[in-house]
């Protein structure tokens, strides 16, 4: 009996030790154990009032930093004369609106107008058509690769989209010209692009698969391109149904700000663009603050364009302090700039203020969020999501920027009368792209354009997301 009792004691001890070893082994494997949960529960100290408040409310309302209210005014040392806030509605055309907003002052000056707006629908039509061609050419180029190849996967995931960047607008303007808004006004689908983009994307994927099938049967590139041209007929037709057919010629007259009525004149879109724009669009330099890579070097992003035969987004990588110098020079000379950023971060949409002090998560949760700009980019936590025109700056007594003014394209009732006010600290954290005329950039920086660019893949964090808000 005594031996049996000892046996059970030893057996129990063995089971306890074995269980402990198995538990430790499971923890080493990385699983969430009951012991780990128990440990976390003991350490999790929360305030009942905060739990009740957070669980029953929009967290964004609870993290508003009231100490920041009223500290940012709307007075600017330099503010360009902007007339008429545009509205992209429910579309990702911010990049196109911004590009045209940067250029429309030239039309105002040329015709002595109190306000003016280019048609955004006209270049958008050709942007979508050219992107369709770019996708199909990409399919032809990668025809020998497997569908599981990363580039092929990327192409079929992104056949066409309404987002973009400055160089895409330049390519379309140079190839197809411009028209005033009255010559090709907005449609329901230009203002609400989702269903059109989905439909065109679906058709392009089908066409892409057909091209790959033909290639697998030994058809030549010349044959594939002939088939592609037939495919583009369907894309053109879909665009006409959704956006209307772009004019080949149009008649236009205007009344200037002195009340003088002009005679009616007939233009082609190319003639109109040539008459209105007194600047070489290739004189603009694309700059970027990408702290994940070495500065003072030239980079290019593959497929970051719309026109097949034209150029990608090719940028000089510079720290934000350098970009501010050229922005100040431009604004002093009354030149607006294409600017892009991660607009959703620390945005007080109602007040129209972008400030890193707008919201305070740590005081509410007792948890800090400490990633810097480079870390946010590398983890896809931040990227260039929205384009706006940089049109104003306020400076301190020493001449350093304190805040900046952005002309938005969300309509006049959004933000601060259609504008966003951005603090200089926010500029450092969430600004990405700036496009500046060459004459405001020193020679040593312009010489970087002579470098052979480092080609980045289209799935690089600097590509995704493109401006589409």
Does 138 have pLDDT greater than 80? yes
Confidence of residue 434 (pLDDT cuts 50, 70, 90): very high
Does 26 have pLDDT greater than 60? no
Mean pLDDT of 380-405: 97
Does 367 have pLDDT greater than 60? yes
Residue corresponding to tokens 């496009």: 435
Q: Model confidence over 86-121: pLDDT tens digits?
A: 999 999 999 999 999 999 999 999 999 999 999 999
Q: What is the pLDDT of residue 14?
A: 66
Are 106 and 174 in contact, with CB atoms under 8 Å apart? no
Does 18 have pLDDT greater than 80? no
Q: What is the pLDDT of residue 92?
A: 97
Q: Quick one: what percent of the chain has pLDDT higher than 70?
A: 93
Count each helix (H run) and each strand (E run) in the chain, helices first: 17, 14
Q: What is the pLDDT of residue 212?
A: 99
Please check whether residue 18 lies inside any domain of the structure: no
The CATH number given to whatever domain includes residue 115 is 3.90.70.10
Q: Quick one: what percent of the chain has pLDDT higher than 90?
A: 91
Does 402 have pLDDT greater than 70? yes
For residue 135, what are the domain limits? 78-456
400-403 long-range contacts, Cβ below 8 Å, gap at least 24?
Answer: 400/424, 401/324, 401/328, 401/427, 403/72, 403/76
Q: What is the pLDDT of residue 465?
A: 55
Q: Model confidence over 204-248: pLDDT tens digits?
A: 999 999 999 999 999 999 999 999 999 999 999 999 999 999 999
Dist CA 64 CA 49 (whole Å): 17
Please check whether residue 24 lies inside any domain of the structure: no
Dist CA 424 CA 357 (whole Å): 12
- Residue 303 tokens read as 């497929």
Q: What is the pLDDT of residue 462?
A: 79
Closest CA to 163 of 246, 91, 244, 99: 91
- Residue 94: active-site member: yes
Dist CA 88 CA 469 (whole Å): 9
* Least trusted range by pLDDT, from 157-161, 168-172, 458-462: 458-462
Does 8 have pLDDT greater than 70? no
Please check whether residue 305 lies inside any domain of the structure: yes
Q: Model confidence over 272-298: pLDDT tens digits?
A: 999 999 899 999 999 999 999 999 999
Dist CA 408 CA 415 (whole Å): 9
Q: Model confidence over 40-86: pLDDT tens digits?
A: 999 998 899 999 999 999 999 999 999 998 999 999 999 999 999 99
Does 4 have pLDDT greater than 70? no
Please check whether residue 277 lies inside any domain of the structure: yes
From 101, 317, 358, 408, active-site residue: 408
Mean pLDDT of 132-153: 99
Please check whether residue 349 lies inside any domain of the structure: yes
Q: Model confidence over 310-366: pLDDT tens digits?
A: 999 999 999 999 999 999 999 999 999 999 999 999 999 999 999 999 999 999 999
Confidence of residue 141 (pLDDT cuts 50, 70, 90): very high
- Residue 386: active-site member: yes
Q: What is the pLDDT of residue 24?
A: 60
Mean pLDDT of 358-380: 95
Please check whether residue 211 lies inside any domain of the structure: yes
Q: What is the pLDDT of residue 111?
A: 96
Confidence of residue 461 (pLDDT cuts 50, 70, 90): confident
From 68, 94, 317, 341, active-site residue: 94
Q: What is the pLDDT of residue 463?
A: 75
Closest CA to 337 of 405, 429, 384, 273: 405
Mean pLDDT of 118-144: 99
- Residue 137 tokens read as 């050419």
Residue corresponding to tokens 């890193």: 356
In sequence order, the 6+-apart residues with CB closer than 8 A to the CB of 88 are 94, 96, 97, 120, 191, 409, 410
Dist CA 326 CA 441 (whole Å): 6
Q: Domain count for the chain, please give it.
A: 1
Please check whether residue 1 lies inside any domain of the structure: no
Q: What is the pLDDT of residue 73?
A: 97
Whole-Å CA distances, 292 to 315, 319, 320, 428:
14, 11, 13, 14
Percentage helix, strand, coil, to 5, in the chain?
Answer: 45, 15, 40
In sequence order, the 6+-apart residues with CB closer than 8 A to the CB of 360 are 63, 64, 65
């Amino acid at each position: 009996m005594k031996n049996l009792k000892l046996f059970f004691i030893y057996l129990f001890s063995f089971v306890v030790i074995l269980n402990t070893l198995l538990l430790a082994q499971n923890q080493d494997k990385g699983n969430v154990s009951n012991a780990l949960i128990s440990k976390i529960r003991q350490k999790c100290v929360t305030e009942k009032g905060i739990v009740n408040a957070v669980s029953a409310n929009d967290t964004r309302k609870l993290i508003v930093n009231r100490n920041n209210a009223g500290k940012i005014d709307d007075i600017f040392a330099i503010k360009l004369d902007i007339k008429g806030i545009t509205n992209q509605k429910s579309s990702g055309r911010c990049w196109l609106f911004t590009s045209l907003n940067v250029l429309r002052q030239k039309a105002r000056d040329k015709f002595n107008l109190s306000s003016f707006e280019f048609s955004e629908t006209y270049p958008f039509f050709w942007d979508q058509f050219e992107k369709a061609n770019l996708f199909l050419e990409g399919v032809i180029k990668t025809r020998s690769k497997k569908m599981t190849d990363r580039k092929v996967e990327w192409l079929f995931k992104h056949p066409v989209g309404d987002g973009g960047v400055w160089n895409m607008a330049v390519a379309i303007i140079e190839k197809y010209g411009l028209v005033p808004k009255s010559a090709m006004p907005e449609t329901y689908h230009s203002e609400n692009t989702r269903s059109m983009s989905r439909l065109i994307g679906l058709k392009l994927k089908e066409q892409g698969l057909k091209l790959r099938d033909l290639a697998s049967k030994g058809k030549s590139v010349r044959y594939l391109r002939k088939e592609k041209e037939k495919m583009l007929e369907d894309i053109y037709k879909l665009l006409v149904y959704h956006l209307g057919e772009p004019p080949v010629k149009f008649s236009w007259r205007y009344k200037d700000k002195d009340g003088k009525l002009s005679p009616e004149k007939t233009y082609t879109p190319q003639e109109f663009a040539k008459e209105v724009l007194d600047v070489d669009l290739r004189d603009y330099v694309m700059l970027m603050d990408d702290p994940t890579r070495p500065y003072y070097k030239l980079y290019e992003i593959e497929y970051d364009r719309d026109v097949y035969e034209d150029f990608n987004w090719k940028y000089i990588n510079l720290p934000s302090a350098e970009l501010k110098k050229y922005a100040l020079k431009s604004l002093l000379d009354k030149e607006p700039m294409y600017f892009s950023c991660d607009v959703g971060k620390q945005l007080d949409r109602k007040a129209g203020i972008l400030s890193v002090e707008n919201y305070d998560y740590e005081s509410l949760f007792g948890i800090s969020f400490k990633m810097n700009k480079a870390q946010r980019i590398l983890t896809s936590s931040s990227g260039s999501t929205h384009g706006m025109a940089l049109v104003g700056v306020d400076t301190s007594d020493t001449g350093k920027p304190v805040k900046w003014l952005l002309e938005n394209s969300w309509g006049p009732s959004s933000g601060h009368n259609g504008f966003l006010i951005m603090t200089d600290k926010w500029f450092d954290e969430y600004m990405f792209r700036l496009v500046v005329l060459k004459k405001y950039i020193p020679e040593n920086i312009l010489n970087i354009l002579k470098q052979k660019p480092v080609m980045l893949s289209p799935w690089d964090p600097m590509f995704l997301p493109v401006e589409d808000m």
